[in-house]
Amino acid sequence: MKHLPSALVLALIVSSGTVASSEDDGPKLVVYNAQHEQLLEEIAPKFEEETGIEVELRHGSDSEMAAQLIQEGDASPADVFLTENTPAMSAVEQEGLFAPLDTAATDPIPAEYRPASGRWTGFVARSTVLVYNPDLVSEDELPESIMDLTEPQWAGKVSFSPTGADFQAIVAAVLDLEGEDATREWLAGLQANGTVYDGNNVVLESVNSGEIATGIEYHYYWYRDQAESGDNSDDSELHFFGDKDPGAFISISGAGVLKNAEHPDEAQQFVAYLTSEKGQQALADSYALEYPLNPAVSLDPPVKPFSELEPPTVAISDLDNDKVVEMLSDAGFVL
């Protein structure tokens, strides 16, 4: 300090004084949230109430926030990172930015929904579905596999939102399960047959209104609309592929604590809350209708039970979004 100019010394004293007084009110946990904004705005206050720890949510998309964390590196103000899908978690893990999670955070979640490294965990799951308009496609015409949507009879009858992290995670699962050649072929077929919309709610609305026959997305868009009003879902139905098809892929939302977190203990507590029975019940009771991963908690009907989804086995930490983005752009999708 003695070599610093006096004005700077004064500035440091002033700023550390500010920090000291805010610390009197307790630490403020900084959460980079790429899960749905509405969900965390609902869950974080419950954690605050439970623990007295204040939470500051900063929102963004999976890829934006992962890139920001990687760019900020050790200087990031983030304590916790939450995503919609796993590829962004893997990207941050590969940069060595996560601390090992406490077992209190990981133990409640079955091993297949978190990486063996123990550096992050899944906390909710979402099932891939094909939403369809029964006036345009009858039940017996529905495809057995998501891979079949490239066949000629589906020309002009399939839609999706390739700019979003959700669809990209589905493609990452197809890549993991079917390999690169088959995935490139599938994407070329979807490019030929498909209609692109900007956002999964637009996919749902377009299928429901009869503008397009089917759409690939996650289950909750339809169930949420049903729970709210049914205005954008009453004229459509969900087709679950099941049978370990790539189209039955379950995407996991991830939670991790940053290695350089300023508030490591509180950050661990936050993730432990998310995976605890109490936190998982709060998630299950929220508007979100995403599947809890703690086996002690489940969603109420009419959501299709998690145990009936028959997903394929995907190594969740292997999902590679960079490769997917490259393949989507090679297939002619504008991202």
Concatenated DSSP letters for 236-266?
-EEE---TT-GGG-EEEEEEEEBTT-SSHHH
Please tell me whether residue 237 binds Fe ion under the rule CB under 5 A: no
Nearer to Fe ion, 154 or 218 (CB): 218
Nearer to Fe ion, 220 or 270 (CB): 220
Return all residues near 54 (Cβ < 8 A) that are at least 6 apart.
25, 26, 27, 28, 29, 48
Return all residues near 309 (Cβ < 8 A) that are at least 6 apart.
127, 240, 242, 248, 250
Q: Minimum distance from CB of 166 to Fe ion (Å)?
A: 4
Q: Minimum distance from CB of 35 to Fe ion (Å)?
A: 9
For the chain, where are the alpha helices, taking DSSP H only?
6-24, 37-51, 62-72, 86-94, 103-106, 165-178, 180-193, 200-208, 220-228, 264-275, 277-285, 321-330
Nearer to Fe ion, 166 or 237 (CB): 166
User: Would you tell me the crossing angle of helices 165-178 and 86-94 to the nearest 10 degrees?
Assistant: 80
Q: Minimum distance from CB of 97 to Fe ion (Å)?
A: 24
Return all residues near 211 (Cβ < 8 A) that are at least 6 apart.
none
Nearer to Fe ion, 79 or 166 (CB): 166
Number of residues that bind Fe ion (CB under 5 A): 1
Which part of the chain contacts Fe ion (CB under 5 A), choosing from 53-61, 136-144, 166-174, 228-236? 166-174
Find the residue with minimal CB distance to Fe ion: 166
- The single-letter DSSP state of residue 49 is H
Return all residues near 321 (Cβ < 8 A) that are at least 6 apart.
62, 63, 87, 88, 90, 91, 165, 168, 169, 172
Residue 52: Cβ within 10 Å count:
9
Which part of the chain contacts Fe ion (CB under 5 A), choosing from 6-14, 159-167, 276-284, 298-306? 159-167
Which part of the chain contacts Fe ion (CB under 5 A), choosing from 12-20, 26-34, 65-73, 162-170? 162-170
Q: Minimum distance from CB of 203 to Fe ion (Å)?
A: 11
Q: Minimum distance from CB of 85 to Fe ion (Å)?
A: 8
Nearer to Fe ion, 154 or 220 (CB): 220
Q: Minimum distance from CB of 84 to Fe ion (Å)?
A: 5
Nearer to Fe ion, 119 or 224 (CB): 224
Q: Minimum distance from CB of 220 to Fe ion (Å)?
A: 7
Give the burial class of 227: count Cβ atoms within 10 A of its Cβ; 0-12 exposed, 13-18 middle, 19 or more buried. Answer: middle
Of 62, 79, 93, 166, which one interacts with Fe ion (CB under 5 A)?
A: 166
Nearer to Fe ion, 123 or 154 (CB): 123
What is the contact surface with Fe ion in residues (CB under 5 A)?
166
